[in-house]
């Protein structure tokens, strides 16, 4: 079990890294960097050897919902820089000799032992078949943490990430083993009515989850669809 990094006790003085306003950075970038440097999950991911703070989102969801078990086959969509691959490979006991976690991202990343990653756009027509070929069969679990690159226009960013979530859901419905699960990043207030209906038709339970590692101020949310009807 993992615990949310603790908030300091009331009255405790916390040393905060500050970046000067005259640093030459755009104000939004300066604030992002300052928040990143002071984020306890970022500090903990460095200490624990995870590639990203996102690793804790999967850890927290899995501690609660028990998706990852030794031997299960997993596909990780939007894998870079590899935090979820690290968690999935460790919890399914996937090894370089017998990998049963496979990822995809159009960004290159350092290899994760036990989780080969296809460097390709998931929206490419050939990507689904390649993933199944690499995995050597149907997955028990499809994960998607895919997020479209931000444009600065919030609504556009949400719509593009929602589209990725819908394509990921179509993929999961077409490849999952009966009884399998689907976990994907989405956004609060996203245009997800139809998607929810389709998931409810195909899975025995569907709900939203917001792990503690997902920042409160972020509209990010995860859709968890369990027990694929097949
Ligand atoms: C939030 S990051 C994933 C972090 C990852 N779960 C981890 O723990 O390190 C989102 C990723 O989705 C990838 N992505 C977005 N659209 C994609 C697409 N069409 N095909 C493949 N990867 C995509 C991005 O390149 C980015 O690396």
Domains annotated on the chain, with CATH: 19-49 (no CATH), 55-228 (3.40.50.150)
For atom 24 of ligand 1, the residue with the nearest CA is 78
Residue 2 has pLDDT above 70, yes or no: no
* Higher pLDDT pick, 63 / 14: 63
The model's pTM is: 0.89
Lowest mean pLDDT among 120-124, 149-153, 204-208: 149-153
| 217-226: average pLDDT | 93
Cα 50 to chain centroid, rounded: 13
Note the pLDDT of residue 23.
73
Cα 40 to Cα 205: distance, rounded to the nearest angstrom: 33
Residue 11 has pLDDT above 50, yes or no: no
Note the pLDDT of residue 114.
98
**Average of per-residue pLDDT values in the chain:** 90
Q: Provide the pLDDT confidence category of residue 6 given band limits of 50, 70 and 90.
A: low
| 130-147: average pLDDT | 97
Is residue 106 lining ligand 1, measured as CB closer than 6 Å?
A: yes
Cross-sheet strand order for the sheet of 141-144? 117-119, 101-105, 74-77, 141-144, 181-187, 220-228, 203-209
Its sign, for the CA torsion 89, 92, 98, 103, is negative
Its sign, for the CA torsion 20, 25, 31, 37, is negative
For atom 21 of ligand 1, the residue with the nearest CA is 105
For atom 8 of ligand 1, the residue with the nearest CA is 83
Is residue 78 lining ligand 1, measured as CB closer than 6 Å?
A: yes
| 188-217: average pLDDT | 90
Is residue 81 lining ligand 1, measured as CB closer than 6 Å?
A: yes
Report the percentage of the chain scoring pLDDT > 70.
92
């Amino acid at each position: 079990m993992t615990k949310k990094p603790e908030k300091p006790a009331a009255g405790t003085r916390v040393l905060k890294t500050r970046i000067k306003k005259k640093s030459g950075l755009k104000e939004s970038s300066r604030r992002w960097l300052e928040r990143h440097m002071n984020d306890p999950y970022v500090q903990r991911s460095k200490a624990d050897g995870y590639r990203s703070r996102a690793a804790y989102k999967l850890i927290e969801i899995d501690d609660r919902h028990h998706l990852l078990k030794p031997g299960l086959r997993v596909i990780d969509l939007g894998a870079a820089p590899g935090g979820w691959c690290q968690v999935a490979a460790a919890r399914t006991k996937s090894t370089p000799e017998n990998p049963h976690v496979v990822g995809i991202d159009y960004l290159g990343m350092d290899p994760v032992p036990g989780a080969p990653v296809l460097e390709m756009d998931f929206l490419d027509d050939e990507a689904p078949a390649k993933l199944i070929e690499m995995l050597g069969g149907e997955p028990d679990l499809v994960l998607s943490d895919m997020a479209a690159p931000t444009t600065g226009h919030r609504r556009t960013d949400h719509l593009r990430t929602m589209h990725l979530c819908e394509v990921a859901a179509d993929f999961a419905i077409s490849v999952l083993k009966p009884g399998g699960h689907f976990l994907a990043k989405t956004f609060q207030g996203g245009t997800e009515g139809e998607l929810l209906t389709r998931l409810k038709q195909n899975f025995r339970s569907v709900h939203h989850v917001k792990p503690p590692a997902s920042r409160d101020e972020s509209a990010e949310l995860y859709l968890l669809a369990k027990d694929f009807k097949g």
